[in-house]
Chains A and B, each alone.
Chain A
Amino acid sequence: AQTVTQSQPEMSVQEAETVTLSCTYDTSENNYYLFWYKQPPSRQMILVIRQEAYKQQNATENRFSVNFQKAAKSFSLKISDSQLGDTAMYFCAFMKFTNYGGSQGNLIFGKGTKLSVKP
């Protein structure tokens, strides 16, 4: 069975600084996807960034980037130039390829990291 571990329950960062959230996972699959979701205090969870396991290049979305280390099963999220609006719960998630759809399937989440950006 796959598991996702986020070892930092809470973190804080000063506005404009950089912060890295860690995530490790365990799987015997070779093809899978990894995601970071963000849930602001208003509760709607939104996708921040995603990574296909077969791609060696780390995904980047504006101020958000990942450090994907497949052999180490590590998938950390770096937020550069932190903004007050980045304050949220961040969830790391794993999705394996499925027999029926390939790219569909349920997400397996970590417990989340609560990030506070301080002015």
Chain B
Amino acid sequence: EAGVTQFPSHSVIEKGQTVTLRCDPISGHDNLYWYRRVMGKEIKFLLHFVKESKQDESGMPNNRFLAERTGGTYSTLKVQPAELEDSGVYFCASSQTGGAPDTQYFGPGTRLTVL
């Protein structure tokens, strides 16, 4: 069974540009989460999808971040326009409803550098 995949693994962009990160969850997992780790700080929750619906987006930092999950499959996280403080590693995780608690399986992350 394929794990959670993320693309790209690294992205270097300039301030003001747009970047789109993609996450493919494990097949059949209804829950999809985005997290971010800024250098030297904790991994922070961004948002949670259940299928195609946003269940909790309380962690999204501002309206420059837009997440979508088309058809309840893969998800994209777009940052537009990117700022220096957006640099960090963006993790995606997925889980299958039914566990107690659901075990979240993480992808390898996308390292974003904004210059």
Residues of A97-119 whose CB lies within 8 A of B: 100-112
The one of B35, B45, B103, B105 that contacts A50, using a Cβ cutoff of 8 Å: B103
The answer to whether A109 touches B42 (Cβ under 8 A) is yes
The answer to whether B95 touches A104 (Cβ under 8 A) is yes
Shortest CB-to-CB span from B41 to chain A, Å, is 7
Most buried by A among B42, B56, B103: B42
For the complex, what is the distance from the CA of A112 to the CA of B101, rounded to whole Å?
22
The answer to whether B45 touches A107 (Cβ under 8 A) is yes
Residues of B60-108 whose CB lies within 8 A of A: 91, 95, 97, 99-108
Q: Which residues of A contact B25 (CB under 8 A)?
A: none
A11 within 8 A of B: no
Q: Which residues of A contact B97 (CB under 8 A)?
A: 101, 104
A-B CB contacts (within 8 Å), total count: 65
The answer to whether A103 touches B101 (Cβ under 8 A) is yes
The answer to whether B106 touches A44 (Cβ under 8 A) is yes
The one of B3, B101, B106, B107 that contacts A95, using a Cβ cutoff of 8 Å: B101
Q: Which residues of A contact B109 (CB under 8 A)?
A: 43
Determine the interface band of chain A, counting residues with CB < 8 A from chain B: 20 to 34
Q: Which residues of B contact A4 (CB under 8 A)?
A: 42
The one of B3, B48, B105, B106 that contacts A105, using a Cβ cutoff of 8 Å: B48
A45 within 8 A of B: yes
For the complex, what is the distance from the CA of A33 to the CA of B100, rounded to whole Å?
9
Query: What is the chain B residue whose CB lies nearest that of A47?
Result: B103
- Given A33-B101, A111-B41: A106 and B106 interface contact (C-beta under 8 Å): no
The answer to whether B33 touches A106 (Cβ under 8 A) is yes
Shortest CB-to-CB span from B7 to chain A, Å, is 14
The answer to whether B106 touches A108 (Cβ under 8 A) is no
- What are 15 A-B residue pairs whose CB atoms fall within 8 Å in the complex? A4-B42, A44-B3, A45-B91, A47-B103, A95-B101, A101-B50, A104-B50, A104-B102, A106-B48, A106-B59, A107-B35, A107-B45, A109-B35, A109-B42, A112-B42
Which B residues lie at the A interface, using CB under 8 A?
A: 3, 31, 33, 35, 40-45, 48, 50, 55-56, 59, 91, 95, 97, 99-109
Which A residues lie at the B interface, using CB under 8 A?
A: 4, 33, 37, 42-47, 50, 52, 91, 95, 100-112
